[in-house]
Amino acid sequence: MFKYYRADTNNQEEYAFANGIIRKLDRELMNRELMNSIIKASDVTASLKIMNESESFHSSFDINHPDLYEDTLNEELLYYYNIIKSISKVSPFHFLYFTFASKYDFQNLKIIIKSKFLKHEVPEELISKINTIESMKLKAAIYDEKYEELPGSFKFLIKKTFLEYQKHKDPEKIDFTLDKERYLMILNKIKEVEIIEPEELFLKRFIRINIDLNNIINCIRAKIRGEKKTFIREFIIPEGDFKIDKIVEIYDSPITSWVEKLTYTDYKNIIEAGINFYQKNNSLMELEKLKDNFVLNFTKIGKYITFGIEPLIGFITAKENDLKNIRIIISGKLNNIPEDKIKERLRDTYDE
């Protein structure tokens, strides 16, 4: 159990220590000026040099092998997650580390389970080193049914994912199943947390926003694919603010009418812009971008909180957002995408 301390409580030392470190880390986040410099660089090598000279990056990019930039981005993310993990050992942030790092456990699960059913070798280069469970233990459970070293909750979800795949024979169902189970696992752990706060916990709201946006985007994808309503009932993640029955109610309507039916939600503008972009470009790229911006902008409250978990949530979200922007820029330059097109894909920055 940990307590969610606010400024009016008398046990703030651990938050003060941890948030002091996070404030220093915040100064290593990218700002819009740096990002524009990286974009405007003459070529990809020049972009990498700018990043190597910047204080916003701990890891160095190999300017002789620009195509290896993904390795550096992975090293960079692992570096910061290790810092967060060390902070978590001496503060009430241990639960937050699981909340964010478990995303990579589930990413690894998806890769290993698909490799098993598709009879492929596990692509080790895609396995994340960020985790709460070592990937070798996941492999032993998935390939050899050795569950002894896994928490019971992971044993359950692996077996459930097996059943769902065997029922549908569709690898994409593995993604839907594990996405749902991850959020359910996090929400179950939140119930074990002792909360001291007069209103709704920031973390719960953060998770609900992610659930809502994932549900809406997955339903749009399912609609485009021609999936039936019974499919979305099975894979929609519960516990969001936007209830399952509401999504099911609008599902059979044309996608163009969904905006009107979402008028009185926080996501109306996102859905409207995303659907308009899809109709013109046959792509959900803009919707994904707007989702990321909505989540990032929600976490910016962390910049103004002294005692609480908000600063850490804001920093992790912002750092992952920074690396996503770098991935977009470098990939765009390697593929000779025009500067204006690269800019269209970029997410907001934490300083804005």
What are 7's two structure tokens?
């400024």
Structural domain contains residue 1: no
One pLDDT digit (tens) per residue for the chain, 352 residues? 334 434 444 346 666 777 788 889 999 999 999 999 999 999 999 999 999 999 999 999 999 999 999 999 999 999 999 998 888 776 556 778 888 999 999 999 999 999 999 899 999 999 999 999 999 999 999 999 888 888 888 888 999 999 988 888 888 888 988 999 999 888 887 777 655 443 347 888 899 999 999 998 988 988 988 888 888 888 888 888 887 888 888 888 888 888 887 777 888 899 899 999 999 999 999 999 999 999 999 999 988 887 778 888 999 999 999 999 999 999 999 999 999 999 999 999 998 8
- State which of 194, 229, 264 marks the end of a domain: 194
Structural domain contains residue 151: yes
Tell me, yes or no, whether 167 and 205 share the same domain.
Answer: no
Q: Residue 76's domain spans which residues?
A: 16-90+309-352
Structural domain contains residue 184: yes
Tell me, yes or no, whether 167 and 123 share the same domain.
Answer: yes
Which CATH number characterizes residue 23's domain? 1.10.132
Tell me, yes or no, whether 47 and 136 share the same domain.
Answer: no
Tell me, yes or no, whether 293 and 335 share the same domain.
Answer: no
**Diameter over CA atoms, the chain:** 57
Structural domain contains residue 70: yes
Instruction: Give the closest residue to 241 by CA, choosing from 286, 282, 298.
Output: 298
- State which of 159, 194, 229 marks the end of a domain: 194
What is the three-state SS of the chain? CCECCCCCCCCCHHHHHHHHHHHHHHCCCCCHHHHHHHHHCCCHHHHHHHHHHCCCCCCCCCCCCHHHHHHHHHHHHHHHHHHHHHHHCCCCCHHHHHHHHHHHHHHHHHHHHHHHHCCCCCCHHHCCCCCCCCHHHHHHHHHHCCCCCCCHHHHHHHHHHHHHHHHHCCHHHHHHHHHHHHHHHHHHHHCCCECCCCCCCHHHHHHHHHHHHHHHHHHHHHHHHCCCHHHHHHHCCCCCCCCHHHHHHHHCCCHHHHHHHCCCCCCHHHHHHHHHHHHHHCCCHHHHHHHHHHHHHHHHHHHHCCCCCHHHHHHHHHHHHHHHHHHHHHHHHHCCCCHHHHHHHCCCCCCC
Which phi and psi (to 5°) does residue 170 adopt?
-130, 115
Structural domain contains residue 134: yes
| Residue 3, beta-bridge partner list | 194
Tell me, yes or no, whether 234 and 303 share the same domain.
Answer: yes
Tell me, yes or no, whether 78 and 132 share the same domain.
Answer: no
- Please state, in angstroms and as integers, the Cα–Cα distance from residue 186 to each residue in 136, 161, 209, 238, 303, following that order: 22, 17, 14, 12, 24
Tell me, yes or no, whether 105 and 117 share the same domain.
Answer: yes
Tell me, yes or no, whether 168 and 254 share the same domain.
Answer: no
Tell me, yes or no, whether 218 and 228 share the same domain.
Answer: yes
Q: Determine the Cα–Cα distance for residues 110 and 127; give it in Å rounded to an integer.
A: 10
What are 177's two structure tokens?
């199943």
- State which of 156, 177, 194 marks the end of a domain: 194
| pLDDT tens digits, one per residue of 279-330 | 999 999 999 999 999 999 999 998 888 777 888 899 999 999 999 999 999 9
Structural domain contains residue 8: no
Structural domain contains residue 7: no
Structural domain contains residue 2: no
Tell me, yes or no, whether 332 and 294 share the same domain.
Answer: no
Tell me, yes or no, whether 228 and 265 share the same domain.
Answer: yes
What is the three-state SS of 230-266? HHHHHHCCCCCCCCHHHHHHHHCCCHHHHHHHCCCCC
Domain count, the chain: 3
Tell me, yes or no, whether 280 and 207 share the same domain.
Answer: yes
Instruction: Give the closest residue to 24 by CA, choosing from 315, 279, 227, 257.
Output: 315
